[in-house]
Amino acid sequence: MSALLEVNNISKRFGGLQAVDRLSLTVNEGEILGLIGPNGAGKSTVFNLINGVYPPDGGSIVFVGQDITGGPPYRVARQGIARAHQIVQPLGGLSVLDNCTVGACFGRQGLGLVPAREVAREVVDMIGLGDRPDMLAASLTTAGKKRLELARALSARPRLLLLDEVLAGLNPTETEGMIETVHKIRDSGVAILMIEHIMRAVMSLSDRIVVLNLGSKLAEGSPQQVADNPEVITAYLGDSKLLSVAEKPA
Partner 1 sequence: MSEILLQVEGLEAGYGDVQVLWGISLKVARGTMTTLLGANGAGKTTSLRAITGAMCPRGGKVVFAGEDVTWLPAHAKAARGLVLVPEGRQLFSNMSVEENLEMGAYSRRARQHFRQQLDHVYTMFPRLKERRNQKSGTFSGGEQQMLAIARGLMAMPEILIIDELSLGLAPVVVQQLAETLKGLKASGVTVLLVEQNLHLALALSDYAYVIAEGRPFLEGPSAEVAAKPEIRQAYLGL
87 lines the binding site for partner 1 (CB under 8 A): no
141 lines the binding site for partner 1 (CB under 8 A): yes
Identified binder of partner 1 from the candidate list 2, 15, 39, 230, rule CB under 8 A: 39
Express the helix, strand and coil content of the chain in percent, nearest 5 each.
40, 25, 35
Count of residues engaged in binding partner 1, rule: CB under 8 A: 33
Using an 8 Å Cβ cutoff, are 14 and 42 in contact?
A: no
Using an 8 Å Cβ cutoff, are 68 and 7 in contact?
A: no
Q: CB of 4: closest distance to partner 1 in angstroms? A: 26
176 lines the binding site for partner 1 (CB under 8 A): no
At residue 209, φ and ψ (nearest 5 deg) are -130, 140
Q: What residues numbered 206-225 form the site for partner 1, per CB under 8 A?
A: 223-224
227 lines the binding site for partner 1 (CB under 8 A): yes
Q: CB of 107: closest distance to partner 1 in angstroms? A: 28
DSSP annotation of 136 reads B
Identified binder of partner 1 from the candidate list 87, 113, 114, 246, rule CB under 8 A: 246
User: Nearest CA to 35 among 7, 56, 65?
Assistant: 7
DSSP annotation of 154 reads H
Sequence letter at residue 81: I
Binding site for partner 1 (CB under 8 A): 38-39, 141-142, 168-169, 171-172, 197-204, 223-224, 227, 232-233, 236-243, 245-247, 250
